[in-house]
Structure 1
């Protein structure tokens, strides 16, 4: 989510630069898995945005942080085997931590819609 958000602010921001600044992730395997997740999201970003738009009447009014959280959640719902409840709960927790007062409700509603409307 943090990388996607940073990339919206600076399109030339490279994932390798982002990885160099990570302090919480120490293991190479975790960095590799994170890289695969980000790469997967970037490959289908347009489809993710379309799914989010189809579940949000006011997509253009969403802030970039919420869009970044939603892209990660939508990717996990559509392209992984993670249970819907876990994906949505994680995204809501991230929205609570980093978003504004309405972020958690928006993230919850849109990801719930995506989980119901689209199949993996």
Structure 2
């Protein structure tokens, strides 16, 4: 899968995870079906893997994020930042196809620059660096 396809999948996963926080009654599959005719099947497949993985492992992922965050409770983090972190932690620690930490962190930072606030990229970078160190 090309890097751009993975990036598209991560961005789609972020959008779906964000939406499910506000509309939990809508299934992941319903959100994915909206994009199935406009995006490459590889993108849809990887986004599904990410969203499903994050959803099924949310408690473990949030625990890793919380352990790395001395000053922020996970539920108080910005919704975009929290979900970018969740995708990256899943890819770094829990996916069946683990992504190298530096790649996962770089991808998360680039997505944070695009979707987050002016502080999101440095926040995501710092927190994921701590996760990478085993916190």
TM-score (norm. length: structure 2): 0.79
Question: Partner of 1:8 in structure 2?
Answer: 21
Which residue of structure 2 lines up, in the alignment, with residue 97 of structure 1?
A: 114
1:20 aligns with 2:24: no
Q: Are residues 1:75 and 2:90 paired? A: yes
Runs of 4+ in 1 over 4 A off after TM superposition: none
Q: Could you tell me how far apart the structure 1 residues matched to 2:117 and 2:53 are?
A: 27
Flag structure 2 segments of 5+ consecutive residues without an equivalent: 1-13
Distance 2:43 2:106 in 1: 21
Distance 1:91 1:12 in 2: 27
TM-score with structure 1 length normalisation?
Answer: 0.88
Instruction: Give me the whole-angstrom Cα distance separating, in 2, the residues matched to 1:50 and 1:10.
Output: 23
**How many residues matched?**
117
Q: Which of 47, 50, 55 is the aligned partner of 1:42? A: 55
| 1:34 CA displacement | 2.2
Which stretch shifts more, 18-27 or 71-80? 18-27
Aligned-pair distance for 1:47? 0.7
Q: Which ranges in structure 1 are unaligned for 5 or more consecutive residues?
A: none
Distance 2:85 2:61 in 1: 8
Q: 1:24 Cα shift?
A: 4.7
Structure 1 window deviating more from structure 2 (55-64 vs 73-82): it is: 55-64
Measure the CA separation in 2 of the matches of 1:18 and 1:44: 19
